[in-house]
Amino acid sequence: MDRFIIHGGQRLEGEIAIGGAKNAGLKLMVAGLLTSERLVLSNVPQIADIATMKDLLVQHGIAVDPVDGSTRTLSIGGDIASVEAPYDIVSKMRASILVLGPLLARAHEARVSLPGGCAIGTRPVDMHLKGLEALGADIRLEGGYINASAPGGLKGDRIVLPFASVGATENLVMAATLARGRTEIINAAREPEIGDLVVCLNAMGARITGAGTGTLVIDGVDALHGAHHRIMADRIECGTYACAAGITGGDLRLVGGRISDLGAVVRALEEAGVEVIGEEDAIRVRRTGPLRGIDIMTEPYPGFPTDMQAQFMALLSVAEGASMITETIFENRFMHVPELSRMGARINVHGSSAIIRGVRKLSGAPVMATDLRASFSLILAALVAEGETVLSRIYHLDRGYEGVDSKLAAVGARIERVGD
């Protein structure tokens, strides 16, 4: 099992290319289930979750060409040969639940294992299931599987989500593209990745309006066709490397990042003393003064993203004064706190809030990754810690970040990937 060895104290300076968004690319691959024609995606990130989704689509009988390393393109298409998404694949990745809606829409039946992924909370799928039932699906839970059928096809309806769930919104909007009549999704999630999915679906012949608002309107069509679509830049990767510039007092140009996608992350960086400048094809992030403590609460977009919470905790652990982070999305997303504390961070957790009292320095230590985003929070801490940090279980990191060691080394970090 690989691990990272990191020697802290280096100021980061230079350019980092931001890849395609994991949280968009996975859903766009699933959209390939909605047509027998070829869906060609470009700017595909080369990460473990993309490979897992490829395995799942192949399980359904869909042809998936390998990612072209030079053009970063991926071609998907074919007839559905199996409607079962088995446990051994679904257990690796939460996003696998998103095949449920497209399978129902196109094949009128599905058997999908209840999902796995990072152990950051329960993340129930009840909103997915209730929404699909509103569209006419019959759903039964048996033996750890979701068994769903819609013999006559799905039909449009008005669905009010009790919470602006990203996954439920994506599942339902894909299902509704082939449903009869009009579907309205009220309190829909507004994340940029959903907008990217809608752009792709409309290019495939869907009729969807309202992306970026709390109401999506989908007029069902008889069939979708192939299309070409470029995956948006990964705003979480961009925000993560912005924190790397901030915590090291560095100056990074994040090529491909868009300041409009970062929203509340930009405001939080600026409040903490990190300068963020939008350029034509990049975002420049630099810090010339001290870091300042701030308060953050995670919220659905356009609020502060839960996927940036761990990275900011590392950043604020060396800021002047006290900070508070309140997590409102997932109940188990402070598992990185004990590992940061091993490095000298002063963090106290009280229920859903963490109080961070900034320290002048962190110290290198053996630490262990607990989930995808927590992995990078420990890398950030290691970049400024005195001495050597050994980060194990980095397979979590490989699920969502591409080439971390090479990207960081290219801008001045002392980081090495080694095997046992």
For the annotated binding site for phosphoenolpyruvate, the residues are 22-23
Q: Where are the alpha helices (DSSP H) in 177-234?
A: 192-203
Q: Which amino acid is at 228?
A: H
* C-alpha span between 267 and 302 (Å, rounded): 11
CA 58 → CA 78, 114, 340, distances in Å?
10, 19, 40
118 catalytic? Reply is yes
DSSP reduced 3-state for 69: coil
Residue 26: both structure tokens together: 């996975």
* C-alpha span between 49 and 377 (Å, rounded): 20
* C-alpha span between 380 and 97 (Å, rounded): 31
Nearest to 364 by CA among 2, 85, 9: 9
Q: What is the DSSP letter of 304?
A: B
Cβ-based burial of 351 (10 A; exposed 0-12, middle 13-18, buried ≥19): exposed
DSSP for 352-420 reads: TEEEEE--S--B--EEE--SHHHHHHHHHHHHHSBSEEEEE-THHHHTT-SSHHHHHHTTT-EEEEE--
Nearest to 86 by CA among 61, 51, 125, 112: 112
Cβ-based burial of 152 (10 A; exposed 0-12, middle 13-18, buried ≥19): exposed
The dihedral sign for the CA sequence 358, 11, 43, 419: negative
DSSP for 8-45 reads: --PPPEEEEE--B-HHHHHHHHHGGGG-SSPEEEES--
118, 200, 238, 243: the active-site residue:
118
State the angle between helix axes of 372-384 and 309-316 in degrees (0 to 180), rounded to the nearest 10: 20
Per 3-state DSSP, what percentage of the chain is helix, strand, and coil (rounded to 5)? 35, 25, 40
CA 176 → CA 27, 99, 222, distances in Å?
15, 13, 11
- Any idea which residues carry the catalytic annotation? 118
